Amino acid sequence: SSGINAEYGHNFKRINLSSRMMFEGFLFVIHLFLHTYCQLQVIAQSAFNLLRWWRLSKWNVDVLLAHTKNIGRVPSHVSLVFLEEGVPVEDLVKPVVWCICLGVTTISLYDYYGRLRSKNIDIDKEIREYYTSFTKSSKTSPKSEPRAKIQFVSVENGRTDLVNAARTLASQAVKECCPSLITQTVVEDYLKVFSHDNPEMILKFGTLNSLAGYPPWPVHLTEIISLPTCHLISPTDFVDSLRRYNKIEKRVGK
């Protein structure tokens, strides 16, 4: 039977051109189905939200808090990973504001090229505007200015951060003021981004199933919750993600 197995990898190349083209054709059809299915998920999320737009637009911080009262734990650091192009700023600030309302203390926004970082002033302004309108009609006592830390991360903060930490430690070694034993804690001390502040949950937007250059160090125990898109995102999508996060049993090796 190992003879039959060995046939495919090597002998496949010996198949005539028309047979190969036929299999390429079949593969194309399979991928067409998969792609359509994927796109339908994206469209379904947006369409569903559009249909309920009238009801969803009435959501404010009180409704959000009511829906998340018994949801379990709210992570203290949430990372929003945007792996899709062309998300309007009004949509991408929504999950940021919802996190702030739920008491998330650190929110990091990741996009590969760092375009969000270059627009951070606009985004900051949008966040404040949306926060104001979302908490405006709140019946509970007005909260003081939200205390969440918002940071922008891109691929430049990925592996490069660890390389720079190694270089800093090495320069110190030359000057003989380097810690004598380099432990994981020491390495983390020297990271510029996510130093001792690891995201507990990644909310990933887009159909790309990858971390695509996200900093490798902090994600060892991060739960990666995916949503097809951030376009027309609704608070119920967000609440569902939190519910999924809480359903997970965090075993940590045991």
Partner 1 sequence: AVVSTQSTGEYSWWQRFLIRCLLAGTLPKHVAFIMDGNRRFSKIRGITRAESYLMGFEKIGEVLDYCEVFGIKVVSVYAFSIENFKRSEEEKGELFRLFEEKMTYLLGNLEKLNEKGIRIKVMGDISLFPGHLTKLMADVQLRTAHNTEFCFNLCLSYTSREEMTNSVRTVVEGVREGRLEVSDITENLLDRCMYSEDLPPVDLLVRTSGEVRLSDYMMWQANFAVLQFARVLWPDFGFLHFVSSLLDYQRQQPRLAELRERYGEFLEKMRDWEVRGMEEGSEGRQEEFCVELKRRRREVLEEFARRE
Residues at the contact surface with partner 1, assessed by CB under 8 A: 1-2, 4-6, 8-9, 12, 15, 20, 23-24, 26-27, 30-31, 34-35, 38, 112-113, 155-156, 158-160, 162-163, 165-167, 169-171, 173-174, 178, 182-184, 187, 208-214, 216-217, 219-226, 248, 252-254
Rounded least distance, CB 111 to partner 1, Å: 11
Q: Cα 111 to chain center, whole Å? A: 9
Q: Which is nearer to partner 1, 65 or 225 (CB)?
A: 225
14: CB partners within 8 A, 6+ apart: none
> What minimum distance in Å lies between the beta carbon of 237 and partner 1?
16
Which residue's CB is nearer to partner 1, number 63 or number 155?
155
Given the complex with partner 1, which of 125 and 167 has the nearer CB atom? Answer: 167
The span from the CA of 66 to the CA of 166, in Å, is 47
In which residue are the tokens 């990091």 written? 108
Do residues 109 and 152 lie in contact, with contact meaning Cβ atoms separated by under 8 Å? yes
Instruction: Give the CA distances from residue 71 to residues 77, 131, 148, 160, in Å, rounded to whole numbers and listed in that order.
Output: 17, 22, 21, 37
Pick from 204, 196, 193, 192: which is nearest to 233 by CA? 204
Supply the minimum distance, in Å, between the C-beta of residue 131 and partner 1: 29
For the bound state, the minimum distance from the C-beta of residue 124 to partner 1, rounded and expressed in Å, comes to 26
Pull the structure tokens for residue 121: 């002033």
Q: How far is the CB of 59 from partner 1 (least distance, A)?
A: 26
